[in-house]
Amino acid sequence: MRRQLTFLVVAIILLILIAFFLPLVATVRSISADDRITQAAVEAESIVPLLMREDPETVALSLQSLAAGDSDTFSVFLPSGRVLGDPAARTDAVRLAERGHSLVAEVPGGREVLLSVVGRQDGPIVVRAFVSDAVMYEGVTEALATLALLGLLLLLIGVLVTFLLATRLTRPLRELADVSRRLGRGDLAARARGGGAAELVEVAAALNYLARRISELVKGERERIADLSHRLRTPLTALRLEADMLGDPAERAKVNRTIDQVESTVTDAIKTVRGGDSGPGACDAATVIAERMEFWTVLATEQGRSIGGDISNGPLLVAASSAELSDAFDVLISNIFSHTPDGTDFSVTLTPRPNGGAVLEVADDGPGFADTRVRRGRSGGGSSGLGLDIVRRVTEVSGGRLILDAAPSGGALVRAELGPP
């Protein structure tokens, strides 16, 4: 906006200067020519008294004296046909002046001022003063150069003033843009001060209202999540008591591990809603995925599923906490167990990402994805429909992306690209 305003004002100033300068050039040239012609006419009239004496020699001496102190040339056409002073042709304009008409005629190289003198017995005399173009427009170039410099100075002053005014006008816009970016980064305390034009003040007020509403909605959402998380603790405690009553130590340990994981997830949720979103954490994806594979391998064996793929040796650092990555991985594997029949094979592959981070691929031999596979809150299998959305959030927060595709076997393929910390 500042650049456009500056260009607009510069264009307007240039148009004004051009509209002013072109007529001024013609005026200066006309004034200079008129002044020089008037001066030549006055000088020609100064020798008229000498012409009345009818003494050619005296007139010739006067013409020489006059020409010596001036850049113009003077000639006198006598009735006898003799020409005194500077030799000049007897043109049609001279013949017209001999009839008693004084005039200014334009000739090649300049103008000639013809003064008709009557009163002599032998006839009228014509005094001719020739003013060349160089003499007639002497000093005009310097005057126009001075005017051009003044015009350039005015243009520079206009540009400077316009730049300052544009900066003052756009400063509130830049502040509004900065507040918008801060809100986008999660700084819900950012507010616009407002200032400048009335329209900008109105926009700032609307932006502040939007920020307040976002803060209120986020606060309410966090309170509801915290309330739900606290409510989960009671049934989890009861479930732990029931697990402790199991007679098989192995089953009791497996159930307790699952309960510990759920409690850890609930605790993390409470911490998140209390402390806000502090940004992604960091963990070794190879270690986290290997640990979760130990848990899911037991269930896969019980259902007759074989697991393929390969997990690269760590460390593979990614911009996600171990809890977040574990939850995302569990979502992907639990979807396989929930939406494919027993005995359906799947594979898990974890490889380094070229620019840092890791790429997690989970593929199965099931029926594949439906068209609504990533629509938040929708599911055809009785689930909440939020699973893949959780995975997508973890990948995007880390600086990566989630890609859903078809596996070579026709099943589902999930490619989660995780960015580096």
Each residue's pLDDT expressed in tens, for the chain with a length of 421 residues: 677 777 888 888 888 888 888 888 888 888 988 888 888 888 878 777 777 665 666 666 666 665 555 556 788 888 878 887 778 888 888 888 888 888 888 888 888 889 888 877 777 888 888 888 888 888 888 888 888 898 889 888 888 888 888 777 778 888 888 888 888 877 878 888 877 777 778 888 888 888 888 888 887 877 777 677 667 766 777 777 777 788 788 887 888 777 777 777 776 666 666 555 555 578 899 999 998 898 888 888 888 989 998 888 878 999 988 888 888 898 898 888 888 888 889 999 999 998 889 999 999 988 887 654 444 444 444 444 456 888 898 899 888 999 998 888 888 999 999 999 8
Which long-range CB contacts under 8 A does 42-45 form with residues at least 24 apart?
43/70, 43/72, 43/74, 43/129, 44/74, 44/113, 44/115, 44/127, 44/128, 44/129, 45/115, 45/127
301 with 400, same domain: the answer is yes
298 within some domain: yes
| Domain final residue pick, 272, 287, 312 | 272
307 with 268, same domain: the answer is no
347 with 384, same domain: the answer is yes
226 within some domain: yes
263 with 297, same domain: the answer is no
298 with 252, same domain: the answer is no
126 within some domain: no
Residue range of the domain that includes 289? 279-418
Q: What is the CATH number of the domain that holds 381?
A: 3.30.565.10
117 within some domain: no
311 with 266, same domain: the answer is no
204 within some domain: no
Prediction pTM value: 0.44
153 within some domain: no
Rounded to whole angstroms, how far apart are CA atoms 52 and 373? 119
266 with 338, same domain: the answer is no
| Domain final residue pick, 272, 292, 308 | 272
| Domain final residue pick, 272, 301, 318 | 272
345 with 262, same domain: the answer is no
295 with 244, same domain: the answer is no
357 with 391, same domain: the answer is yes
Total number of domains in the chain: 2
308 with 405, same domain: the answer is yes
Q: Give the DSSP per-residue string, 34-98.
A: HHHHHHHHHHHHTTHHHHTTT-HHHHHHHHHHHHHTSSSEEEEE-TTS-EEES-----HHHHHHT
319 with 348, same domain: the answer is yes
